[in-house]
């Protein structure tokens, strides 16, 4: 299928996204705008370009935190959510579980409840205007230590806001092993929250095993390093533990793929029976959209259209939405798929 036709099909099909950092959907122009508004001067080209110039995970995380530092008032989050809404509309994402990283904002003195109430307002607006559902996973973060992660969880427990489904563990797993954060995740589960972790992005199987065994991870963020461990890959397939695969992010950040999508192990994981979903991670930073990512795996990795449809449905079935809703959305995917091909008889499924 040609690229423009593929994009037309994918735009028509409702999708879910499970691994995307809300702060990383901000438009590049919005970054400039927020900076100008809060610092009373334009950002120099040098500073702007340096924000998007990184060669590894550490460099990228620094840029991520730096952009968060430009936000001076909690109301600035509303601008961010304008871009987020646009992104959901452009990609026809009807359901999204997005990571929110509160640490940098809390360090500025913002109150957790203020942040969540503002986000809640934005999410309601997106639901009313665009009929899209957004829920949050709070990234307790492994970049600022265990005490900070526990503080974040305590805020989540105290807030008890229905937009928060659970917690995640973002940041560089090589510098913050999941096992160090086990008490935070034990407590989150005790309080009925869902748990996910970034694991197997850059570190081998032990990191994913710790995430599952010690942090009760219900999904693994990335999980791609499992492709190097046949035995563990088999175990993931047997247990059907969902992997939130983010192809462009991995190609961008990890030297091992030599910048070539063809080296990405998504197809190897899929062929081994692993339960994969496709996500963008940080669309603005990696210049990709969700539809781009589906095109990448279709055009570069040999996934068939049938595979693409299955993976789209995985986005819904692996989400934390109610079981009944999962079935409804999977049926809607089938209906939309059928309808699109009916209107395009020249295209083969």
Q: Shortest approach of Zn ion to residue 52 CB, angstroms?
A: 17
234, 208 contact by CB (below 8 A): no
DSSP code, position 42: P
Interface stretch with Zn ion, choices 223-231, 255-263, 274-282, 308-316 (CB under 5 A): 274-282
Which are the contacts of 80, defined by CB distance < 8 A and separation ≥ 6? 22, 23, 25, 26, 30, 71
Tell the residue number behind the tokens 């265990």, with chain if given: 146
Q: Applying CB under 5 A, which part among 112-120, 135-143, 229-237, 281-289 lies near Zn ion?
A: 281-289
Q: Is 281 a binder of Zn ion (CB under 5 A)?
A: yes
Question: Would you say 256 or 334 has its CB closer to Zn ion?
Answer: 256
Whichever of 200 and 309 has its CB closer to Zn ion, that residue is 200
Cβ at position 341, least distance to Zn ion in Å: 33
Tell me the residue number closest to Zn ion, measured at CB: 281
**Does the protein bind Zn ion through residue 201 (CB under 5 A)?**
no
Residue with Cβ nearer Zn ion (18 or 336) = 18
Stretch that binds Zn ion, among 5-13, 118-126, 268-276, 278-286 (CB under 5 A): 278-286
The residues that bridge with 10 in the sheet, in sequence order, are none
**Angstrom distance (rounded) from CA 244 to CA 318:** 9
| Pick 22 or 281: Cβ nearer Zn ion | 281
CB of 197 to Zn ion, least distance (A): 10
- Provide, rounded to whole angstroms, the least separation between the CB of residue 165 and Zn ion: 16
Interface with Zn ion by CB under 5 A: which range of 5-13, 32-40, 47-55, 276-284? 276-284
Residues 8-47 that bind Zn ion (CB under 5 A): none
CB of 20 to Zn ion, least distance (A): 8
Q: Of the two residues 203 and 330, which places its CB atom closer to Zn ion in the complex?
A: 203
Which DSSP state fits 171?
Answer: S
Q: Where are the alpha helices (DSSP H) in the chain?
A: 3-12, 28-39, 45-51, 57-69, 76-91, 103-107, 112-130, 146-159, 182-190, 205-215, 230-239, 247-253, 266-271, 283-286, 290-301, 305-317, 323-343
45 φ/ψ angles, rounded to the nearest 5 degrees: -60, -35
Please spell the DSSP secondary structure of 222-238, one letter per residue: E-GGGGG-HHHHHHHHH
Nearer Cβ to Zn ion, position 283 or 330?
283
Rank residues 30 and 202 by Cβ distance to Zn ion and give the closer one: 202
Quick one: which segment of 62-70, 85-93, 277-285, 335-343 binds Zn ion (CB under 5 A)? Answer: 277-285
- CB closer to Zn ion, 210 vs 281: 281
CB atoms within 10 A of CB 239: 11
Query: What is the size of the binding site for Zn ion (CB under 5 A)?
Result: 1
Sole window of 61-69, 275-283, 285-293, 305-313 interacting with Zn ion (rule: CB under 5 A): 275-283
- CA atoms of 297 and 325, how far apart (whole Å): 27
Which residues, listed in sequence order, are joined to residue 17 by a DSSP beta bridge? 96
Closest distance of CB 162 from Zn ion, Å: 23
- β partners of residue 98: 20, 136
DSSP-based three-state secondary structure for 156: helix
Query: CB 335 → Zn ion: shortest distance, Å?
Result: 31
Residue among 97 and 281 whose Cβ is closer to Zn ion = 281
In the structure encoding, which two tokens stand for residue 312, read together? 């789209």
Q: Which stretch binds Zn ion (CB under 5 A): 6-14, 146-154, 279-287, 326-334?
A: 279-287
- Decide if 232 contacts 269 (C-beta within 8 A): no
Contact call for residue 244 and Zn ion (CB under 5 A): no
> Which residues in this chain contact Zn ion in the complex, by CB under 5 A?
281
């Amino acid at each position: 299928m040609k690229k423009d036709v593929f994009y037309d099909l994918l735009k028509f099909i409702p999708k879910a996204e499970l691994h995307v950092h809300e702060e990383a959907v901000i438009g590049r122009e919005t970054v400039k705008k927020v900076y100008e508004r809060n610092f009373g001067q334009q950002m120099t080209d040098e500073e702007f370009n340096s924000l998007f110039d990184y060669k590894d995970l550490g460099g990228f995380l620094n840029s991520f935190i730096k952009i968060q530092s430009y936000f001076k008032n909690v109301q600035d989050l509303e601008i961010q959510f304008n871009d987020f809404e646009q992104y959901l509309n452009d990609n026809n994402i009807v359901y999204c579980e997005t990571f929110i990283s509160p640490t940098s904002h809390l360090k500025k003195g913002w109150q957790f409840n203020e942040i969540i109430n503002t986000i809640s307002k934005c999410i309601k607006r997106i639901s009313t205007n665009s009929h899209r559902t957004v829920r949050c996973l709070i990234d307790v973060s492994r970049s600022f230590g265990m005490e900070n992660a526990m503080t974040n969880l305590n805020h989540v427990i105290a807030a008890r806001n229905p937009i928060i489904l659970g917690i995640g563990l973002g940041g560089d797993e090589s510098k913050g092993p999941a096992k160090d954060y086990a008490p935070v995740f034990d407590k989150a589960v005790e309080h009925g929250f869902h748990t996910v972790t970034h694991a197997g992005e850059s570190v081998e199987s032990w990191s994913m095993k710790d995430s599952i065994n010690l942090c009760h991870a219900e999904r693994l963020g990335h999980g791609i390093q499992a492709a190097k461990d046949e035995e563990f890959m088999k175990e993931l397939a047997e247990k059907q533990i969902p992997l939130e695969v983010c192809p462009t992010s991995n190609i961008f950040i990890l030297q091992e793929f030599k910048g070539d999508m063809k080296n990405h192990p998504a197809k190897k994981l899929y062929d081994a029976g692993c339960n994969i979903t496709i996500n963008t991670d940080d669309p603005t930073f990696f210049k990709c959209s969700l539809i781009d990512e589906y095109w990448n795996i279709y055009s570069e990795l040999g996934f068939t259209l049938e595979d693409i449809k299955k993976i789209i449905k995985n986005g819904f079935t692996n989400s934390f939405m109610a079981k009944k809703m999962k079935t409804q959305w999977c049926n809607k995917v089938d209906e939309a798929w059928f309808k699109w091909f009916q209107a395009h008889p020249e295209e083969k499924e």
